[in-house]
Chain A
Amino acid sequence: MEVIAAVVVGILFAVGIYLILTQDLLRIVLGTSLMTHAVHLLLMAMAGLKGGAAPLLDRGKEEFADPLPQALILTSIVINFGITAFFLVLSYRAYQKLDTTDMDQLRSESSRHRGRSR
């Protein structure tokens, strides 16, 4: 199981990095989101993939799952949800304002701006 998880984490990271290196803003947002998912999976795998009941003592179960990584992942998912949403809204607004989602154009304009301010 851990090996599969490791491979999937690797694939997700690769896809995420590929997307971040493209020019389109929307793809970059998706790339960051994918990379965050990869990290969540990594967290899950690093804590050991094992089954078991919720760690409540009075239910007559013997095997318990480690609740901490799940709590961490849930927190991280919530944070990622917020940031991705914000990033998307911002990209949309930036598209409205700057009329482009192409990072190259964004950068060239900003370097021109920098040249002007120098």
Chain B
Amino acid sequence: MPKGNDIFLQNVSKVVVFIILAFALYLFFTGHGSPGGGFIAGLMTAGALLLLALSFDIETVRKVVPVDYKLLTAAGLLIALCTGTGALFFGEPFLKHAFGYFDLPLLGKTELHTALIFDLGVYLAVIGVTMTILLTIGEDN
């Protein structure tokens, strides 16, 4: 894809991409008890990257986020799997989750949940899969 001369789109995306990413982050953390979660946040993040790719080009995205998306998918899957399997080592059934309340600096009393780690895996896997697909189609002209 040749580098476009689309000043409006490029300037707007420079700002909007970060808003989308922030919203994705919000969705990711709110997903435990309300609508949201790893899958949607992942799609949202991939959408932000896609916007970047549309307004600039794929090379820019590669430069900005220098990750191998196939490996990202694998890493996500591995994290999700390990979270599920971790329960086996505590004599609990597969996929059993655990949570606790911790006093964190700045945040105060916070509930931390192993489901969040699982969701992180989902998040990474979704970004990986979506970007792999988009790049596969988008790469050759």
**B137 & A88 in contact (Cβ 8 Å cutoff):** yes
Residues of A within 8 A of B (CB): 54, 56, 74, 78, 82, 85-86, 88-89, 92
Q: Measured between alpha carbons, how far is A89 from B129 in the docked complex, in Å?
A: 12
**B34 & A54 in contact (Cβ 8 Å cutoff):** yes
State which of B33, B34, B39, B136 has its C-beta within 8 Å of the C-beta of A89. Answer: B136
Q: Measured between alpha carbons, how far is A92 from B140 in the docked complex, in Å?
A: 11
**B33 & A82 in contact (Cβ 8 Å cutoff):** no
List of A residues within 8 angstroms of B39 by Cβ: 74, 78
A interface majority secondary structure: helix
Known A85-B133, A89-B133; further 14 A-B contacts with Cβ < 8 A: A54-B33, A54-B34, A56-B33, A74-B39, A78-B39, A82-B129, A85-B129, A85-B130, A86-B133, A88-B133, A88-B137, A89-B136, A89-B137, A92-B137
Can you list 11 contacts pairing A with B, beta carbon distance less than 8 Å?
A: A54-B34, A56-B33, A78-B39, A82-B129, A85-B133, A88-B133, A88-B137, A89-B133, A89-B136, A89-B137, A92-B137
Interface size on B, as a range, is: under 10
List of B residues within 8 angstroms of A88 by Cβ: 133, 137
List of A residues within 8 angstroms of B136 by Cβ: 89
CB proximity to A under 8 Å, residues B49-98: none
Cβ of A66 to closest chain B Cβ, rounded Å:
16
Question: Which 9 pairs, one residue from A and one from B, show the smallest C-beta to C-beta distance?
Answer: A85-B133, A89-B136, A92-B137, A89-B133, A78-B39, A89-B137, A56-B33, A54-B33, A82-B129
List of B residues within 8 angstroms of A82 by Cβ: 129
Cβ of B75 to closest chain A Cβ, rounded Å:
18
In the complex, residue of chain B having the shortest beta-carbon distance to the beta carbon of A86: B133
Q: Measured between alpha carbons, how far is A17 from B79 in the docked complex, in Å?
A: 39
In the complex, residue of chain A having the shortest beta-carbon distance to the beta carbon of B133: A85
List of A residues within 8 angstroms of B129 by Cβ: 82, 85
Cβ of B34 to closest chain A Cβ, rounded Å:
7
In the complex, residue of chain A having the shortest beta-carbon distance to the beta carbon of B122: A78
Q: Measured between alpha carbons, how far is A39 from B133 in the docked complex, in Å?
A: 25
Q: Measured between alpha carbons, how far is A78 from B136 in the docked complex, in Å?
A: 19
List of A residues within 8 angstroms of B137 by Cβ: 88-89, 92
